[in-house]
Amino acid sequence: MKTRFNTLAAAGLAALLALNSYASADNGRQKTAAVAQTQVTPAQAIAAAQKQAGGQATEIQLKGKYGTPVYHVEVRNGQQEHTVYVDAASGKVVGSKAETEWKPARKAAVSLERAIQAAQSTVQGRVMEAERDSNRGQLVYKVDILGADNVPHKVIVDADSGKVLNSFVDYDD
């Protein structure tokens, strides 16, 4: 009985791992397809989002669900955090939502747009995602780029100086 249970548990775990691997690969294919369909640059999407919400952009993601690529841009203005949706083909704002955060975000000396430019000077390609984050107390931007060779890269940019701190191939996403 115990052997049968262990066999069933192992088979269930293997199926779960296979499903997770398939979902991860499918997510990667969706991002790659979304990047290929974009007409609007991340800088243009950020400008549209900041105009809509006011404040400073802290994150941008390109999502391609349902066949239409859309940038999700987070903009902070004091304690207000706006998520602005920008059509990646036309550059038009197609929606937004706002939330009140408990405390204001720490301001960065370097804008998200400048961090993306610094990352693209290190790795040529299309930006899939960029976010501001704290790394061991240091404010940084993490920029995911699909390289010209279709290899995913992650570039870490210092949010105070704009210097590229690290760049590596990133197959995790």
Give the containing element (helix H, strand E) for 58.
Answer: strand 56-63
What's the DSSP call for residue 159? T
Q: Which residues contact 165 (CB under 8 A, 6 or more apart)?
A: 140, 156, 157, 158
Quick one: which H or E segment has residue 31?
helix 2-37
Per the CB < 8 A criterion, the answer to whether 145 and 125 are in contact is yes
Rounded Cα gap, residues 112 and 127, in angstroms:
12
Q: Which CATH architecture has domain 37-169?
A: Roll (3.10)
- pLDDT tens digits, one per residue of 79-88: 899 999 999 9
pLDDT, residue 171, reads 82
Burial level of 30, CB count in 10 A (0-12/13-18/19+)?
Answer: middle
CA distance 100 to 95: 17
Q: What is the pLDDT of residues 85-123, one digit of tens each?
A: 999 999 999 999 999 987 777 888 999 999 999 999 999
Q: Which pTM does this prediction carry? A: 0.76
C-alpha radius of gyration, the chain, whole number: 19
Model confidence at 68, pLDDT cuts 50, 70, 90, reads: confident
Q: What are phi and psi of 101, to 5 degrees?
A: -90, 155
* The pLDDT value given to residue 169: 94
Of 5, 83, 99, 7, give the one whose Cα is nearest residue 46. 83
In three-state secondary structure terms, 155 is strand
Domain ranges of the chain: 37-169
